[in-house]
Amino acid sequence: MAMRLSPIARAALLANLVAPGLLAADKPNVVVIFCDDLGYGDLGCFGHPTIATPSLDRMAREGQKWMSFYSAAPVCTPSRAGLMTGRYPIRSGMCSNKRGVLFPDSGGGLPASEVTIAELLKEQDYATCCIGKWHLGHQKQFLPMRHGFDEWFGIPYSNDMHVKRRGDPAVPLMRGDEVVEQPANQNTLTKRYTEEAVAFIDRNKEKPFFLYFAHTFPHIPLFASTDFRGKSRRGLYGDVVEELDWSVGRVLDKLRQEKIDKKTLVVFTSDNGPWLVMRLRGGSAGLLRDGKGTTWEGGMREPTIFWWPGRIEAGSTESGMGSTLDLLPTIASLCGALTPKDRQLDGHDLSATLFGDAPSPRDTMFFYRGTRLHAVRHGQWKAHFWTRGWRQRKLNQHETPLLFHLDLDPSESWNVAAKQKKNVATLTALAEAHSKTVQPVVNQLEVQLEKR
């Protein structure tokens, strides 16, 4: 587990992160909209035939769609840790082989020694706000206010974590460190989150701000407000996604109304793929294989849109690889913050790619389930060393990794390892070299995490 720093050491560390900087007027606002369990195929602009997403379709027409953008992990807690820190979650200890994510009876959370996007931007005088699901530790010392956020309104973990036989309390809705409603009325959650987001933008429109808007949905159980319930052609799941789409529209409209759209980067993505075990109640990964909890493409490739009118070319599409791991270095670079130099980061600055000046700097992505490295993608090749689909109980180890070419075979249907020995060797070597960088923490983590 990473070392805990005293408040003074922590302040000194953060002081070193302050870049010569941009003038306040040049600092862009940043909004990250992060859905929970939304699949690659669940939006109109990513090919869904019956869910109507006019606001996201417009966002894509005015912005840039990323077709190969990955979350940091195929389940909630590690995925969020990766986004917040720009590091594979194994480096912060926010992963577990046994339970996968934090539960209401789990101890622990994101260590104070980790540096988050919010902390970097706080040092640049940004107003920072977290709205929605946190899931990086629900005890006070791990909540958003301890990780660089001025404000937080949302739920501390997943909306289904109220199992009576486990002794879970009803799901709390929190503002800062206080519970303001328990059980949270989930019917109106998307609506209320959206009102909070619009109000935060309104209060901070004159100065740079960072809004991390992590929706509770479409994680199951599904809830939609009366304006949306029963309205879509795709049942309750479609109703929920259509309300999320409305919410995105409200946020973008507010930026336009206040005439700050041309100085605001908005990123839309999801924490992991669709929850297929829930069948009709879950989403769709489109043509990608499998979903949440797996390291097949459907588990980790997310429908992603970057939007910044006047800076990002309208209606563009990026086929290079990107990841939520890249958001911290990208945002740091755009906002005049320096990234921490005393630790291994796993993200790349994507800004030149967003502005059409360079191909994506990311050529490799590692796919973890818990502390185990399951797969690696390099260029268009992806090798799987371990697999487990949602229908399978057993984890499969592949002595000779499975190998797929993702341009030719985005659904990972045809294993070509036998004919591609050189590529198998290259990807295996990349995985081995990467594993060496995390090995010092793995053994220690396995002991600590299994206790949770």
Q: Which residues are known to be catalytic?
A: 76, 135
Q: Which residue is nearest to Mg ion (CB)?
A: 76
Per CB under 5 A, contacts with Mg ion among 34-73 are 36-37
CA-CA distance, 35 to 219, in Å (whole number)?
A: 8
CA-CA distance, 114 to 90, in Å (whole number)?
A: 12
In this structure, are residues 101 and 36 in contact, taking their beta carbons and an 8 Å threshold? no
User: 433: number of CA atoms within 13 Å, CB side?
Assistant: 8
In this structure, are residues 40 and 288 in contact, taking their beta carbons and an 8 Å threshold? yes
Number of residues that bind Mg ion (CB under 5 A): 5
Minimum distance between the CB of residue 273 and Mg ion, rounded to whole angstroms?
Answer: 9
Q: Which stretch binds Mg ion (CB under 5 A): 29-37, 173-181, 194-202, 417-425?
A: 29-37
Closer to Mg ion by Cβ: residue 244 or 335: 244
76 near Mg ion, rule: CB under 5 A: yes
**CB-based contacts of 363: which residues, under 8 Å, 6+ apart?**
321, 378, 379
Closer to Mg ion by Cβ: residue 76 or 438: 76
Closer to Mg ion by Cβ: residue 151 or 302: 302
Minimum distance between the CB of residue 82 and Mg ion, rounded to whole angstroms?
Answer: 12
What is the 3-state composition of the chain as percent helix, strand, coil, each rounded to the nearest 5?
A: 35, 20, 45
Closer to Mg ion by Cβ: residue 108 or 274: 274
The owner of tokens 């973990």 is 157
Minimum distance between the CB of residue 155 and Mg ion, rounded to whole angstroms?
Answer: 13
Minimum distance between the CB of residue 120 and Mg ion, rounded to whole angstroms?
Answer: 24
Minimum distance between the CB of residue 282 and Mg ion, rounded to whole angstroms?
Answer: 11
Planar angle of CA 328, 329, 333, nearest 5 degrees: 115
Q: Where are the alpha helices (DSSP H) in 178-319?
A: 189-204, 235-257, 297-300
Closer to Mg ion by Cβ: residue 271 or 326: 271
Minimum distance between the CB of residue 419 and Mg ion, rounded to whole angstroms?
Answer: 36
Residue 267 phi/psi, 5° resolution?
-115, 130
- Tokens, residue 110: 């994101």
Minimum distance between the CB of residue 81 and Mg ion, rounded to whole angstroms?
Answer: 13
CA-CA distance, 444 to 450, in Å (whole number)?
A: 10
Minimum distance between the CB of residue 28 and Mg ion, rounded to whole angstroms?
Answer: 28
Residue 165 phi/psi, 5° resolution?
-65, -20
Per CB under 5 A, contacts with Mg ion among 252-311 are 271-272
Which amino acid would we find at residue 4? R
Per CB under 5 A, contacts with Mg ion among 358-377 are none
Q: Which stretch binds Mg ion (CB under 5 A): 28-36, 58-66, 95-103, 160-168?
A: 28-36
Closer to Mg ion by Cβ: residue 172 or 274: 274
The owner of tokens 């879950």 is 282
Closer to Mg ion by Cβ: residue 72 or 76: 76
- Tokens, residue 442: 């793995």
**How far, in Å, are 152, 316, 344 from residue 204 at the CA level?**
15, 30, 33
- Host H or E run for residue 92: helix 89-92
Closer to Mg ion by Cβ: residue 242 or 271: 271
DSSP secondary structure string for all residues of 371-385: TEEEEEEETTEEEEE
Build a one-symbol-per-residue string for 80-119: x at contacts with Mg ion by CB under 5 A, - elsewhere: ----------------------------------------
- Tokens, residue 411: 């659904």
- For residue 361, count CB atoms less than 10 angstroms from its CB and return exposed for 0-12, middle for 13-18, buried for 19 or more: middle
- Residues of the shown chain interacting with Mg ion in the complex, contacts defined by CB under 5 A: 36-37, 76, 271-272
